Structure 1
Amino acid sequence: MELVTTCIPPVCNVLVDWVSPKLRNMWYLKKNMDECETSKNTLETKGNDVEIHMNLEETNRRCVSGEIKDWFNKYQCISQKYSEFYKQFSEYRREGRWSRVRKKTYKFCQEVVRMMKEINQLIDEANSFLLNAGEMPPPIVEIENTEFTHGLPSMEWNKKAVYKALEEQNVNVIGMETRSDFKFVIMVTVSSNLDIKKIQDQIERRLPKNNVSGIMDDQRSAARANILSRRLEKVEGNILIIFDDVWEPLNFTEIGIPSSNKSCKIILTTRDQIVCETMGAKEIIIDALGTDESWKLFESINVCSNKDVDPEVKHAVCKECAGLPLAISVVAKSLNNIKLIEAYWLKSLRYLKTADPIGMGGRNGIVYKSVKLSYDGLEENKLKICFLLCSLFPEDCVIDLFDLICYGIEEEERWAEYAKKGIDSLNDFLDILNHLKSRGLILQQQDWDSDVNINTARMHDIVRDVAINIAKEEGFFIKTGAGLEDWPRLYNKELKWISLMDNSFKDFTHRPENVEMLKLLSLKGNKELKRIESDFFKGMQNLLFLDLRETSISDLTPWIQKLKKLGVLMYGGNRSYEIFKQIPISILGNLSVLCLQHSKIKELDKDFGKLFNLRVIDFTRTEIDIIRSKVFSSLKNLEVLYMHNSFHHWKASNDEFEDCVAFEELSTLKHLYSLRVDIKNKDIFSVKYRVAGNFPSIKHFSIRSIFGYLWKFPIMDFNYLALDQNIVILVKEEISQWLKLLLIKTKRLRMVVDCSHSARALMNLDYEDIHVMSIKVCSVIIKISSFNEKHNV
């Protein structure tokens, strides 16, 4: 009896603890819905803020973080789900409180609580996105670096002519053959492949919704134009739309730009004067530079050239550029080397005078010769192949260093000395990117919170045209963003690289011809591509690289076993890893790069550790439930591991009773060069925590315990830390040894902490090699220019 009386109270307590909140959720349904409504309104405000931020990023031709896009998609889904919830709530409210004892109503009450948690979680994540709200850039458009053209009289005259035309009330369209007070400035890239839907999407994404009903997706062209027209008319304030690289007259009515809207001004840039005349635009002709201005521009770029070269030779080279700023810039940069003697200058001059590119005359021919001169002057074959690889990406696309690494890693056989560099080989891609920028062959991508983003680049559309022309001779076939619905006919039997990004393929059912030599195939961005038959890959036995990101393919098993030499697989966005997992590891044994994003993995088991050749793994935004122990320690050749928003349940050390991965496994990887990882376990940061390897080769890292905070553009010039207040105060005596060693090797650091006390403690660190540091505490930025001085904050 005593045993019974002893057991009853705790059992009752447990039952009360379990039943009470559930009954309370039913009784207080209205209160919960009111709180949910308040949270939903807050979320809607955050959603608008994030959308404005995304529009600004796209307007300024910058990549929007994939994590922010994911958040926005979740926000749209939960907004739609909430509308359905509110309808149900209205029905239950009419039925009365006591009807809630029904099972169906009970489930709804629990769903309300769950939804409120989801909404609050999204609000918290949005707050982390918007920490930088005060730093958001103004709505301007930076097309390329104009550092060398400032102060040239003709350029200043052109700018004044544009400003004057924008102020004229009777001028709506301004044509320029080659800002003023505007609330919205929208840049639209048109290019030679005119796609009305793509143009409408570019404009629509940058406009506020303005309570205009209708969804642009999956609508007929006329319906889309109608929705866009109404949104433009409801915008408060002036709008400037810049149509760049127009090849044929545009029908603004078909696009959805009302002629009656006097607050909307349009600038279009074109190489064809007939386009301006046909569209009735006010023309501003951008003439070539005169002799004096050409030389001034050439000289301002060519500052490091050999001073012993006859000035007359330099003037003659400049003259062959015919006053075209792009040609002048490329040639001046290609000859901007003190080691180049006069004989090399004379050889370059002869080429510019005598070269006659087939099918290219006039200005296009001049630019072609200047780019080809710079390309031929590249000292190493690896520089040439990487330049051509940049042309695989769509016009006006931001080229990311990580993509270039993945696209080029299988090309190491092209340069024997490159492979000997070992762990430094991946960093060599950054050197290549910077070298191509210094030669004027690719453009530096600007970033709003730093001077430059060294991780990214862009190709001028004219330079890209030249690169594609050169690439044809090397076995490239490039047809991006062309609206293709069927596999193109290929006549060259020696093709090795094919890029068909951003087209409109739906399926591939037939075996293509002339693909026996193919090494690289990129189908990225074909969002409607759902099916590839097994016969399609039959002739591609030499394929080394396959990019299927941003497609709708959900099953790899019918055909991937045919690709026995596959070294790079980039795939994601369809949560189909369980199918991917069924593929025998022996088939994937040659993989050196695995990029699997936006997927869900139940378990990364020990078989995965048999992919011994893996050098690069990108599991960003791929949810992983469990990773078995010794999976990563088996990957001895691993150089890059990206796992933000993926897996964060790292154990401090391997436990014989629990088969789960330990963080110390990563520390023993001798070649691990770049690491992005989330860590929830605060013991790993403790001074008592020891690891065996101490990450001997890491140079670039991004380590977070605040999972909501995002680095918009993590670049290799910086290392990153995001720490929550549960992590011990970071002073030298208390920080873990492995993190201390990483900080000692760090030259530049960016950091976020959510505790000002921790930030003050961090400022007392005295690592002499950290030259520049920025610390964010909540929404306050503290910039420290030198760690060697006592910090003035």
Structure 2
Amino acid sequence: MSFLTNLQALYLNYCLNIIDMSVIGELHKLEILSMRENALKEMSREIGQLTNLRMLDVSAQCIRTIRSKVISKLHKLEELYMQCGFWDWVSKIDGEGQKTNIGFDEIAGLSYLSTLKVCISDANCIPKSVEVEPNWVYFDISTCHGHISERIIENFRSDDSGHNCRSLSLSRTDTTIGAFPDWFVNTAVKNTERLRYEECKGLSNILVEYDHGRLHGLKVLSVIGRCESLKELMNAITCVPDKPVFENMEELHLKELNDLEELCVGELPPGSLCSLKLLEVRRCCNLGNVLLPSKLLQKLPSLEKLLCSDTKVEYLFGCEGFEPDQINLREMELQDLHVVRGICNGPAPR
């Protein structure tokens, strides 16, 4: 390979028997390097010699070591995909004295980087401040305490939309948006279009997250798994919004939230949830008698599709003050609703 000095693009995906990549440093004209699903446990330090590299993909590798001052040398890097098994940010490398693994500040300091896919263990990996705020156009950033979630692995293995997504995922962690530093909120959170919470113990009111993250452009929200403090998805009494919230959200997915008792408490400002087209509620065992009380239902003029399964509600819709021209529902999928007594909790509107 060292003779291929004019090589500009190299794809070594699913090459499970490669054990030494040091020769890669000879390919100084390389602009694209993809090493998805390889078995290498450490990133070759010679990659830092590829100063013309514009795209680097090491997704889903078994990488445990990424030395500091390697990726930061790639000053022309525009796209970085490293949603892999690497979690030891800024930790010392065994057997190498004071040498450490990469810090997230090295990634934030890549001035040409516009597309980023990365996994981190928690918000503590993110520096409190940066010299210049990054200009990430597209990103998919996942936090997962301990080890990578199988759902996250499945998501980025099946998703090749890294060039056109703005996604943030918080999994198996106490971290909420309020824990992120201001520069990260400005760069990533407020531009997020797809937000996912999975087993987040610190999540207690999604309106607080909206306020802290300035999530005005959010289109898809997913809340999945055990969130012990989340009794009401939106509590407009303890967190009183003065402007419409989630006005651009098109999809809301709620799954396996056994502690969730109500979707909304209090009155949301006019215009809230006005773009919601899809509502999915699955395996939420402690919701109240009515899935969508009339006050909440009237906030959903664009709702077209309702998916509900294995959820203990007696009625889907509340009827008080309900006008038929206020709903645009076109499709319902109802499964395993063993305690449902009816669609409406009163006479259906004509």
**What letter is aligned with 2:64?**
D
Please report how far the alpha carbon of residue 607 of structure 1 lies from its aligned counterpart in structure 2 after TM superposition. 2.5
Match among 6, 15, 23 for residue 583 of structure 1: 23
Whole-Å separation in 1 of the counterparts to 2:138 and 2:14: 26
Match among 105, 120, 124 for residue 664 of structure 1: 105
Larger radius of gyration: 1
Whole-Å separation in 2 of the counterparts to 1:584 and 1:569: 10
Q: Cα 1:598–1:728, aligned 2, differ >3 Å: closer, same or farther?
A: closer
Please report how far the alpha carbon of residue 699 of structure 1 lies from its aligned counterpart in structure 2 after TM superposition. 1.3
Whole-Å separation in 2 of the counterparts to 1:692 and 1:662: 12
Q: Cα 1:644–1:740, aligned 2, differ >3 Å: closer, same or farther?
A: same
Whole-Å separation in 2 of the counterparts to 1:713 and 1:623: 19
> Is the counterpart of residue 699 in structure 1 residue 137 in structure 2?
yes
Whole-Å separation in 2 of the counterparts to 1:703 and 1:766: 15
Report if the CA contact (8 A) 1:749-1:774 is conserved: yes
**What letter is aligned with 1:786?**
N
Match among 173, 181, 199 for residue 726 of structure 1: 173
> Is the counterpart of residue 754 in structure 1 residue 199 in structure 2?
yes
**What letter is aligned with 1:576?**
N
Report if the CA contact (8 A) 1:669-1:695 is conserved: no
Report if the CA contact (8 A) 2:40-2:61 is conserved: yes
When normalised by structure 2's length, the TM-score is: 0.56
Q: Cα 1:737–1:694, aligned 2, differ >3 Å: closer, same or farther?
A: farther
> Is the counterpart of residue 713 in structure 1 residue 154 in structure 2?
no
Counterpart in the other structure of 1:739:
184
Counterpart in the other structure of 1:160:
none
**What letter is aligned with 1:746?**
N
**What letter is aligned with 2:69?**
K
Q: Secondary structure at the residue paired with 2:46?
A: helix
> Is the counterpart of residue 613 in structure 1 residue 75 in structure 2?
no
Report if the CA contact (8 A) 1:614-1:635 is conserved: yes
Q: Cα 1:653–1:784, aligned 2, differ >3 Å: closer, same or farther?
A: farther
Please report how far the alpha carbon of residue 769 of structure 1 lies from its aligned counterpart in structure 2 after TM superposition. 4.3
Match among 244, 248, 253 for residue 786 of structure 1: 248
Report if the CA contact (8 A) 1:684-1:736 is conserved: no
Which segment drifts farther, 661-670 or 762-771? Answer: 762-771
Counterpart in the other structure of 1:564:
5
Deviation by residue 1:534-589 (Cα, 9 ceiling, x = unmatched)? xxxxxxxxxxxxxxxxxxxxxxxxxx23322110001122323323x142622x11
Whole-Å separation in 2 of the counterparts to 1:766 and 1:705: 16
Counterpart in the other structure of 2:318:
none
Counterpart in the other structure of 1:767:
214
Please report how far the alpha carbon of residue 677 of structure 1 lies from its aligned counterpart in structure 2 after TM superposition. 0.7
Structure 1's unaligned 5+ residue stretches are 1-559
Report if the CA contact (8 A) 1:666-1:695 is conserved: no
Q: Cα 1:634–1:717, aligned 2, differ >3 Å: closer, same or farther?
A: closer
Please report how far the alpha carbon of residue 705 of structure 1 lies from its aligned counterpart in structure 2 after TM superposition. 1.8
Whole-Å separation in 1 of the counterparts to 2:216 and 2:210: 14
Report if the CA contact (8 A) 1:648-1:677 is conserved: no
Identity of aligned residues (%): 19
Structure 2's unaligned 5+ residue stretches are 228-232, 235-244, 250-268, 274-295, 300-350
Deviation by residue 1:264-307 (Cα, 9 ceiling, x = unmatched)? xxxxxxxxxxxxxxxxxxxxxxxxxxxxxxxxxxxxxxxxxxxx
Q: Secondary structure at the residue paired with 2:183?
A: helix
When normalised by structure 1's length, the TM-score is: 0.26
Counterpart in the other structure of 2:310:
none
Alignment of 1:286-685 (within 5 A): 560-579=1-20, 581-583=21-23, 585-586=25-26, 588-651=27-90, 657-685=98-126
Q: Cα 1:590–1:736, aligned 2, differ >3 Å: closer, same or farther?
A: same
Whole-Å separation in 1 of the counterparts to 2:115 and 2:192: 15
Q: Cα 1:717–1:628, aligned 2, differ >3 Å: closer, same or farther?
A: closer
**What letter is aligned with 2:71?**
F
Please report how far the alpha carbon of residue 750 of structure 1 lies from its aligned counterpart in structure 2 after TM superposition. 2.9
Q: Cα 1:626–1:790, aligned 2, differ >3 Å: closer, same or farther?
A: same
Deviation by residue 1:499-556 (Cα, 9 ceiling, x = unmatched)? xxxxxxxxxxxxxxxxxxxxxxxxxxxxxxxxxxxxxxxxxxxxxxxxxxxxxxxxxx
Whole-Å separation in 1 of the counterparts to 2:104 and 2:91: 6
Whole-Å separation in 2 of the counterparts to 1:703 and 1:773: 15
Q: Cα 1:728–1:779, aligned 2, differ >3 Å: closer, same or farther?
A: closer
Q: Cα 1:658–1:747, aligned 2, differ >3 Å: closer, same or farther?
A: closer
Report if the CA contact (8 A) 1:699-1:745 is conserved: no
Deviation by residue 1:31-60 (Cα, 9 ceiling, x = unmatched)? xxxxxxxxxxxxxxxxxxxxxxxxxxxxxx
Report if the CA contact (8 A) 1:618-1:641 is conserved: yes
Q: Secondary structure at the residue paired with 1:583?
A: helix
Counterpart in the other structure of 2:257:
none
* More strand per residue: 2
Q: Secondary structure at the residue paired with 1:751?
A: strand
Counterpart in the other structure of 1:189:
none
Q: Cα 1:653–1:668, aligned 2, differ >3 Å: closer, same or farther?
A: farther
Q: Cα 1:766–1:632, aligned 2, differ >3 Å: closer, same or farther?
A: closer
Whole-Å separation in 2 of the counterparts to 1:626 and 1:747: 29
Whole-Å separation in 1 of the counterparts to 2:136 and 2:214: 17
Higher relative contact order (CA 8 A, sep 6+): 2
Whole-Å separation in 1 of the counterparts to 2:192 and 2:37: 32
Q: Secondary structure at the residue paired with 2:89?
A: coil
Q: What value does the CA root-mean-square deviation take over the aligned residues?
A: 3.5
Whole-Å separation in 1 of the counterparts to 2:34 and 2:102: 20
> Is the counterpart of residue 690 in structure 1 residue 137 in structure 2?
no
Deviation by residue 1:418-476 (Cα, 9 ceiling, x = unmatched)? xxxxxxxxxxxxxxxxxxxxxxxxxxxxxxxxxxxxxxxxxxxxxxxxxxxxxxxxxxx
Q: Secondary structure at the residue paired with 2:167?
A: strand
Report if the CA contact (8 A) 2:167-2:192 is conserved: no
Deviation by residue 1:226-276 (Cα, 9 ceiling, x = unmatched)? xxxxxxxxxxxxxxxxxxxxxxxxxxxxxxxxxxxxxxxxxxxxxxxxxxx
Q: Cα 1:569–1:767, aligned 2, differ >3 Å: closer, same or farther?
A: same
- The alignment covers a number of residue pairs equal to 227
Whole-Å separation in 1 of the counterparts to 2:7 and 2:81: 21
Whole-Å separation in 1 of the counterparts to 2:104 and 2:76: 17
Report if the CA contact (8 A) 2:135-2:187 is conserved: no
